[in-house]
Amino acid sequence: MTYDSIIIGAGLSGLTCGLLLAKSGRRVLILEQHSEPGPVVRGFLRRGIYFDSGFHYAGGLGEGGPLRLLLKHLGLVEKLKFLPFVADGFDRLRITGSGDDIALPVGMARIAAHLSELFPHLQSEIITFLDEIEERWCDFPYLNLNKDFTAVGLASLDELSLARRLEVFSSAPELQTLLSMHALLYGIAPQQASVTLNAQVAGSYFHSAHGIDGGGRRLIDACLQRLTESGATVRCRADVVQILSSDGKVAGVQLADGEIIAATEVIATCNPALVPAMLPAGVLRPAYRKRLEQLYQTPSALILYARCATPTSTLRRTNLFVCPKPGTLQVALDRTLEDRPMYLAGADHCPDTDGTRGVIAIIPADFDEVAARQNSTGQRCSEYLNWKKQMARRLVRHVMTSVPELGELEPLDMATPLTLHDYSRAPQGAIYGVGRVMGQYNPQPQTRLPGFYLSGQAVAGPGLLGTLVAGYYTCGTIMGHELLRGELRTCR
Ligand SMILES: Cc1cc2nc3c(=O)[nH]c(=O)nc-3n(C[C@H](O)[C@H](O)[C@H](O)COP(=O)(O)OP(=O)(O)OC[C@H]3O[C@@H](n4cnc5c(N)ncnc54)[C@H](O)[C@@H]3O)c2cc1C
């Protein structure tokens, strides 16, 4: 069978592209190397607790929020229930050894009032900083339907880094930590992240913060239902090794088992560094090929999934960022685990499981910490498994010391950079794939090979918001941005 569109990867971006293209009447096939669709996001069960893996909360899902509009247009809103995070503190910061946590309330005005009360001598600087975030956080034509496309993709090379911007708060190092901690959610150190990138991620959460009832798994299942309703096909264990071309345009793909599937459009949503090896030699210009291969990959992570001895409300619809010392966030991977920042989330988004006991702790880590622990064929040796157990115990101790109110914790599982690599194929298990570091032009959807496009978090940004926007951006490039934006306007 010939498809109109083949999409490589059934992550959030691939599923979004599939939904949009199927909605337009195309015959769509989504190919996923993993055994299940949405492998990064679909979470897993351990001892009766559902743990989310690649989705804990999202910004912009509030009533009238731009992410909610995209989900509505995709036909997903009626299939999902959004869970508002704690209004007085959806995110909290704990600086090791200091007094009380600092909470971030939901809503720009409430954040401004709360921070001005805590740091009165910086009130006007705080308000200016938040105004800048408000101005930039949805500065993309699929989030702001009044904005045009002329400036999209042109990263400003002379923009301030977040670290430089936060120098104005040097008399309040805790405030610098609070306003830079969301760098953990996009994987770029504040020294290399632009103020715009930070505004896009942090700003969406400042606006509203929600989880999804049933977690990432419910989100993926809702996408799959809609895809079935639209006649699209999703195939798993379908490892694309070649993107085929004929007569100067894309012709389909070849799978690892040799199967060839023809299509007139192919969209790669996998990490773009993987794309050059899939294309016949000469299709990409050498400079572009090199650019894709050398894109900045975000660090990886160690992720602990643990069970509290007794149910806890400490992380119920609120996250905790634990930072070893005040000042602009340092994501120094050469420091010991205990000296790195840590993000903690609860696991209670699945009401039919024992989630009020579940704790998830994410600490940035380097692939090199595990690379040597697999053999030359990529097989995990017993040394790796022992190391993983030891690290899980060490992380549990660290979490119990940092957040004693959680009580006794039992490690149930752990993800390492190798795990993250298995689930996404991202080089070195990059947690958010290709990041948007300052000075780098991230790839655009259009490529030199007619009919072949890129999408995924590298194109627009990480997270549910970034990946949905990436899907719209790529499909808008194919079908016409004004067509999609027109449809979105009618959904408001
Ligand atoms: C630990 C963690 C926590 C996170 N928490 C949040 C959160 O709370 N909120 C939020 O909004 N975001 C969060 N994110 C980010 C979010 O999960 C990602 O931004 C998003 O899932 C990326 O989607 P994607 O489709 O661009 O990429 P991916 O999900 O990586 O999809 C690419 C797909 O391509 C497949 N693939 C690769 N190569 C091939 C091939 N050759 N053939 C076939 N298939 C292939 C991969 O298996 C993969 O499924 C988190 C991510 C992680 C890892």
Report which ligand 1 atom has the smallest distance to the Cα of 457.
26
Proportion of the chain above pLDDT 70, given as a percent: 97
| The ligand 1 atom nearest the CA atom of 456 | 26
Q: How far is CA 219 from CA 124, 327, 350, 361, 469, in A?
A: 40, 36, 12, 22, 16
What number is the average pLDDT over the span 191-209?
97
Alpha carbon dihedral 371, 377, 380, 383, in 10-degree steps, equals -70
Return the ligand 1 atom nearest residue 40 CA: 29
Pocket of ligand 1 (CB under 6 A): 8-14, 31-34, 39-41, 54-58, 239-240, 269-270, 274, 303, 362, 420, 424-425, 431-433, 456-457, 462-464, 466-467
Average pLDDT over residues 107-134: 98
Confidence tier at 372 by pLDDT (50, 70, 90): confident
Whole-number Å distance, alpha carbon 487 to ligand 1 midpoint, is: 26
Query: Which class for 280: exposed (0-12), middle (13-18), buried (19 or more C-beta within 10 A)?
Result: exposed
Query: Ligand 1: which residue has its CA nearest to atom 50?
Result: 54
Judge contact between 320 and 341, C-beta under 8 A: no
Reported as a pLDDT band with limits 50, 70 and 90, residue 327 is very high
Atom of ligand 1 nearest to the CA of 425: 37
CA distance 93 to 407: 19
Under the banding of pLDDT at 50, 70 and 90, the label for residue 155 is low
The larger pLDDT score, comparing residue 352 to residue 263, is at 263
pLDDT of residue 153: 53
- Take atom 29 of ligand 1 and give the residue whose Cα is closest: 11
> Taking Cα atoms as reference points, which of 202, 265, 226, 256 lies closest to residue 451?
265
Nearest to 488 by CA among 143, 42, 58: 143
**Minimum-distance ligand 1 atom for the alpha carbon of 455:** 26
The pLDDT of residue 333: 87
Quote the tokens at residue 36: 């299940």
Residue whose C-alpha is closest to residue 208's, from 139, 137, 124: 137
According to DSSP, the residues that pair with 91 across neighbouring strands are: 104, 319
What separation in Å is there between the alpha carbon of 347 and the centre of ligand 1? 19
The CA 54 to ligand 1 mean position distance, Å, reads 7
Nearest to 481 by CA among 149, 45, 150: 149
Give the 3-state secondary structure of the chain. CCEEEEEECCCHHHHHHHHHHHHCCCCEEEECCCCCCCCCCCCEEECCEEECCCCCCEECCCCCCHHHHHHHHCCCHHHCCEEECCCCCCEEEEECCCCCCEEECCCHHHHHHHHHHHCHHHHHHHHHHHHHHHHHCCCCCCCCCCCCCCCCCCCCCCCCEHHHHHHHHCCCHHHHHHHHHHHHHCCCCCCCCEHHHHHHHHHHHHHCEEEECCHHHHHHHHHHHHHHHCCCEEECCCCEEEEEEECCEEEEEEECCCCEEEEEEEEECCCHHHCHHHCCCCCCCHHHHHHHHCCCECCEEEEEEEEECCCCCCCCCCEEEEECCCCCCCCCCCCCHHHCCEEEEECCCCCCCCHHHEEEEEEEECCHHHHCCECCCCCECHHHHHHHHHHHHHHHHHHHHHCHHHCCEEEEEEECHHHHHHHHCCHHHCCCCECCCCCCCCCCCECCCCCEEECCHHHHCCHHHHHHHHHHHHHHHHHCHHHHHHHHHHHC
Ligand 1 mutation pick, 53, 55, 184, 434, max ligand atoms within 8 A of CB? 55
pTM: 0.97
Q: How confident is the model at residue 203 (pLDDT cuts 50, 70, 90)?
A: very high
Which pLDDT tens digit goes with each residue over 206-225?
Answer: 999 999 999 999 999 999 99
Strand partners, 364: 301
Residue nearest to atom 35 of ligand 1 (CA): 9
- On the 0-12 / 13-18 / 19+ scale of CB atoms within 10 A, 64 is exposed
Burial zone of 320 (CB within 10 Å; 0-12 exposed, 13-18 middle, 19+ buried):
buried
At the fourth CATH level, the homologous superfamily of domain 3-80+214-295+437-491 is: FAD/NAD(P)-binding domain (3.50.50.60)
Residue 375 has pLDDT above 70, yes or no: no
Q: Average model confidence (pLDDT) for the chain?
A: 94
Confidence of residue 486 (pLDDT cuts 50, 70, 90): very high
pLDDT tens digits along 9-40: 999 999 999 999 999 999 999 999 999 999 99
- pLDDT tens, residue by residue, 424-473: 999 999 999 999 999 999 999 999 999 999 999 999 999 999 999 999 99
Q: Are 184 and 343 a contacting pair, CB within 8 Å? A: yes
Per-residue pLDDT tens digits for 47-84: 999 999 999 999 999 999 999 999 999 999 999 999 99
The single residue listed with the structure tokens 């989705």 is: 55
304 — pLDDT class (breaks 50, 70, 90): very high
Tell me the CA–centroid distance for residue 433 and ligand 1, in Å. Answer: 8
Please give the number of the atom of ligand 1 that sits closest to the Cα of 37. 49
Give the pLDDT of residue 158.
Answer: 67
Both tokens of residue 464?
Answer: 């549910």
CA of 36 to the centre of ligand 1 (A): 13
pLDDT, residue 315, reads: 95
Radius of gyration over alpha carbons of the chain, in Å?
22
Measured in Å, residue 11 CA sits from the centre of ligand 1 at 5
CA 134 to each of CA 74, 119, 147, 179, 267: distance values in angstroms, whole numbers, following the listed order: 26, 20, 15, 14, 33
Nearest CA to ligand 1 atom 17: 54
Q: How close is the Cα of 424 to the center of ligand 1, in Å?
A: 6
Dist. CA 238–CA 30, nearest whole Å: 9
Distance, CA of 13 to CA of 434 (rounded, Å): 14
**Which of the residue ranges 163-177, 219-233, 311-325, 375-389 would you say has the lowest mean pLDDT?**
375-389
pLDDT score at 446: 97
For residue 170, the CA-to-ligand 1 centroid distance in Å is 36
Instruction: Return d(Cα 336, Cα 300) in angstroms, integer.
Output: 15
What is the Å distance from ligand 1's center to 14 Cα? 9
